[in-house]
Structure 1
């Protein structure tokens, strides 16, 4: 990667960590002119997968010395059902100036169009986000309006984002469901689960951010993912601009396994697996 302090530069407004196959991906760059020249600045880019050029553009820009201009690029990779490694090449030039040249490793990931789960799926989702997504990928689920209405059978229970209220977060319904054999997934919450809902003591925090790093690469949990793929993860969704994680837990010393860590010096866990009797809770 070329020095970002160059007189000419193409700076991503968000990290260009991945693209999604079969749909348009928009990446925003700020093209900088820190020379003393008012000559036009030329911004060239191209994206290639396995040596095949997928997209590219050459743009001439009038940029006042000492300033920059934003420019959005659009890439629609070919549909694929597997991860494909790609390279985004950037070049910024101006007459009589040292050119800025950079190549970024930007993989293309397959878009999930269908989901199959071999157990009954129950969803408690006040925002409707998870229910709508499951419907879009053809996954049948049973929606409940409270934890008191959970079915008696085992299976998968998904708690939608920002769904738990204080009484629910610190009650015992999640622990009870997991202990009897349910697999419980709790997405990000304004009020994180704790207290009697967990078999171990976990300390939640107010920490949030955009950089998380997987700890179990090579396992089915992170199939088709690499070490940088959780950086700015939510930015891959259209019209979404929010942190990758929020209100994460401190890494536990025992009783739970951290699957993805985050924060300065990585003291927090953005993804936790907590065994509970016959089942488990993923936070």
Structure 2
């Protein structure tokens, strides 16, 4: 498989590094190709950083996946050479990804008509006004429409790329890379973009982090909100606020996402028997496991497993 990342003058080094961090190491290790493609010449980056790449934009015409990591300014039209690459990729059936303001490029190339999409929260209203034929998911971290994917701002690009890696190489590999990057493997695309963060270093935030990690280590434990509040030394109301700020939802929502992620990893690793998997991952039974998969993924566990590529087990 060949993945092409499109670069351009003024590109954000962070956005460029995101797909490189996710796809570079595992894909090169697996014998796949990864190319950063741009027109000849230096690409001026932020703070005077100068970038160069060996591959021209034309190399992207050979790629199975084409990624546009952002764009300089939402009010500046995406350059014609990039739009041509995106249009050509879609026409021959390649998978096309627009990270952050890269969604504007996919829209300008006509790839998002009648589809759902997202972009950085500061520009979702302008995006919707400019493209009324697109169903803008303003609160989503990323949107997967099959042939095209779009993501919100900088950090959401990492979630989108990990999700895509799971599609291409299986959830087990995506979870492995997420652990390597010290990133959460279970952030769903529907999680809200704007999450207030607890005060860094506060004792309450540290105790909550420790408690959530303990729940990941033993997903069979199901504390009530009151029990967890007593454990971390917070009031029920204060704990609920911290959970919303940290995860975008309540305790039950977080537990469900975490347990589904663990069940995905076990299924990808070859575990069988839904009752046994359900028990190990903290679900009451296989029925509860199936219900959680439908809520989070819109699929049953077996439907999800059937979509994983061969050889994706850890």
Structure exhibiting the larger radius of gyration computed from Cα positions: 1
- Which structure has more strand as a fraction of its residues? 1
Same fold (TM over 0.5): no
Q: TM-score by structure 2 length? A: 0.27
Q: TM-score by structure 1 length? A: 0.30
- Which structure has more helix as a fraction of its residues? 2
